[in-house]
Amino acid sequence: MVGKSAQWGTTAAHMRANKYALLICLLWTAAAYGQGLAGRWAATGRTLDNGEQEKSILELKQDGNALTGTVTTLGGSSDVKGTATGTHFELYGAWNAKRPFLVGDLVNGEIHAAQGRRQWVARPATPADDVPKIAYIEPPALHPVPENGLARTPPMGWNSWNLFAGKVDDPTVRTIADAMVSSGMRDAGYIYVNIDDTWEGVRDASGNLQTNHKFPDMKALADYVHSKGLKLGIYSGPGPRTCANYPASYGHEEQDAKTFAGWGIDYLKYDWCSAAMTYKDDKLQPVYQKMGEALETTGRPMVYSLCEYGRGKVETWGPQVGGNLWRTTDDIRDQWSSMIGNIEEQVPTAPYAGPGHWNDPDMLEIGNGHMTDDEYRTHMSLWALTAAPLLAGNDIRSMTDATKAILMNKEVIAVDQDALGKQASPVKNGDLETWVKPLADGGVAVGIVNLGDSAATAAVRASDLHLAGKVKSARDLWAHQDVKFTGDGYSATVRSHGVLMLRVSTE
């Protein structure tokens, strides 16, 4: 160590000529020789499908265990803070205090860390590592965007993200579209075939966003999907970058809306993600309004899906910015606790659901293999009872009979698609949770979910259903048979994580 210091000392005069080189040397020395995480670090990430290289600059100060600084990525720049314990650290971005954005260790003068599922290796930065700064664009003043008249019932279709994530491409979408028809999904109401993140290329000299090599001709793909009696959805976001770091619509809203319309797109999912580095939550509304207006200006009907994980009470203003649906939660995972967590989290939004504008607890995981069929039936029932969008997230080309029977249960779909558009709310009684959804014909749909670890008797009591008339009939929507509803109601055994779902009609 002494030898190293002396060596830097003797070369200092030479380095004065180049202040950048000196700075780099000092930072590198500090980082490599024991001054912890302080410094200016450069990380290169993956090479994206559009040929771009992910990169970030992390500038950190360390005071004891406390870390402060900034991170600059292709998506923008933001303050970060966190803690260091020895060589281990956790950093939180100013845009999200709930989850660390980077967790890692200092290893031999390098930062080795994970950003969600992505791995980072950061080395002391040089000027050549600089990431361009994003100029701030003030969003427009608020004014209501007229309703687009779409999504009178919750949108139904398929989305690529839950199963395919970055592996979606043109042949996958075409073969999924084929399977939507041959499996009966289209005829059951699943109309939208939605491409999620990672389709994006780079912008051309005029700023037009192109597709990457996985989607050689988006217009031809739209024509193909339309020829099957289906509609095509796409994905972008209001920030400079999408969640998977591809170019998004920041500063190009009208241009991108026109591009989407020109391709024949019918549905846009618009994901906040990197916008959080540029805008605070008080700008959510005007920022979403900007694209809502741009979509309507094209004259092409496009369902507008806001994806901002329930920030800023989106349910209270979603319709004013032209939104047809909005996410109310973080991303779903193919796991019981995640699925139940998401549906519970959107309970407070119930009063805001209705024709044209829906609360979205995220896409379906049915058929993806990590829940039991009982749990998937509960998933489907809860989404239907809460008038949630039904966007399948599995491989439609290879569904088991059980998956088909769940996704294409027409009686349950009819509850989701009921014209009244009411979102059920739960009443809890021990492990049993009862959800009652008023229906347009004056009857109700009722689901009793068993959250417990063992079978239980679920009792549907007529008095809990707040019916206007006398019960005429009741039907078990999973057994597909009428059941005998006495004056008191009906009861049945429900397995752990299973559901009893009835449709009760009145005279």
- 250-309 binders of ligand GLA (CB under 6 A): 271, 307
- Cβ 116 to ligand GLA shortest distance, Å: 9
User: Of the ranges 86-94, 219-227, 242-250, 462-470, which one interacts with ligand GLA (CB under 6 A)?
Assistant: 242-250
Nearest to 321 by CA among 347, 283, 361, 287: 287
DSSP-assigned states of every residue in 75-119 = TEEEEEEEEEETTEEEEEETT-SSS-SEEEEEETTEEEEEETTEE
Question: Tokens standing for 242?
Answer: 């999408």
Query: What is the nearest approach in angstroms of ligand GLA to the Cβ of residue 235?
Result: 6
The answer to whether 307 and 167 have CB atoms below 8 angstroms apart is: no
Q: Is 271 a catalytic residue?
A: yes
Tell which one of 170, 196, 256, 433 touches ligand GLA (CB under 6 A): 196
Q: State whether the Cα torsion 387-390-393-399 is positive or negative.
A: positive
Site string (312-341) toward ligand GLA, x via CB under 6 A = -------------------x----------
Options 169, 197, 200, 253; binder of ligand GLA; rule CB under 6 A: 197
Closest approach of ligand GLA to the CB of residue 379, in Å: 16
Name the segment binding ligand GLA (CB under 6 A); options: 66-74, 237-245, 436-444, 460-468.
Answer: 237-245
Is 242 a residue that touches ligand GLA (CB under 6 A)? Answer: yes
Binding-residue total with ligand GLA (CB under 6 A): 9
Q: Which is nearer to ligand GLA, 243 or 291 (CB)?
A: 243
User: Quick one: which of 161, 260, 352, 485 contacts ligand GLA (CB under 6 A)?
Assistant: 161
Please, are residues 374 and 339 in contact by the beta-carbon 8 Å criterion?
no
CB 241 within 8 A of CB 247: yes
Identify the DSSP state of 164: H
Q: Which of 49, 170, 271, 416 is catalytic?
A: 271
What is the smallest separation between the CB atom of 492 and ligand GLA, expressed in angstroms? 35
CA dihedral 100, 159, 497, 398 (to 10 degrees): -130
Binding range to ligand GLA, per CB under 6 A, among 171-179, 241-249, 435-443, 472-480: 241-249
* Distance (Å) of CA 431 to CA 336, 459, 464, 500: 15, 13, 17, 13
Q: Which residue is nearest to ligand GLA (CB)?
A: 243
Q: Which residues contact 255 (CB under 8 A, 6 or more apart)?
A: 207, 208, 209
Active-site residue, selected from the candidate residues 178, 281, 330, 331? 331
Nearer to ligand GLA by Cβ, of 115 and 434: the residue is: 115
Contact (CB, 8 A) for 211 and 199: yes
Neighbours of 302 (CB within 10 A): 24
Site string for ligand GLA, 18-57 (x = CB under 6 A): ----------------------------------------
Dmax (CA) of the chain: 96
331 is catalytic: yes
Q: Out of 243, 302, 446, 448, which residue is the one contacting ligand GLA (CB under 6 A)?
A: 243
Backbone angles phi, psi at 24, to 5 degrees: -60, -45
Pick the closer one to ligand GLA by CB: 234 or 439. 234
Site stretch for ligand GLA (CB under 6 A), options 32-40, 131-139, 238-246, 458-466 = 238-246
- Number of CB atoms found within 10 A of residue 109's CB: 15
Binding marks (x or -) toward ligand GLA, 70..99, rule CB under 6 A?
------------------------------
Q: How far apart are CA 78 and CA 274, in angstroms?
A: 10
Which tokens go with 119? 């791995």
Binding site for ligand GLA (CB under 6 A): 161, 196-197, 242-244, 271, 307, 331
Catalytic residue list: 271, 331
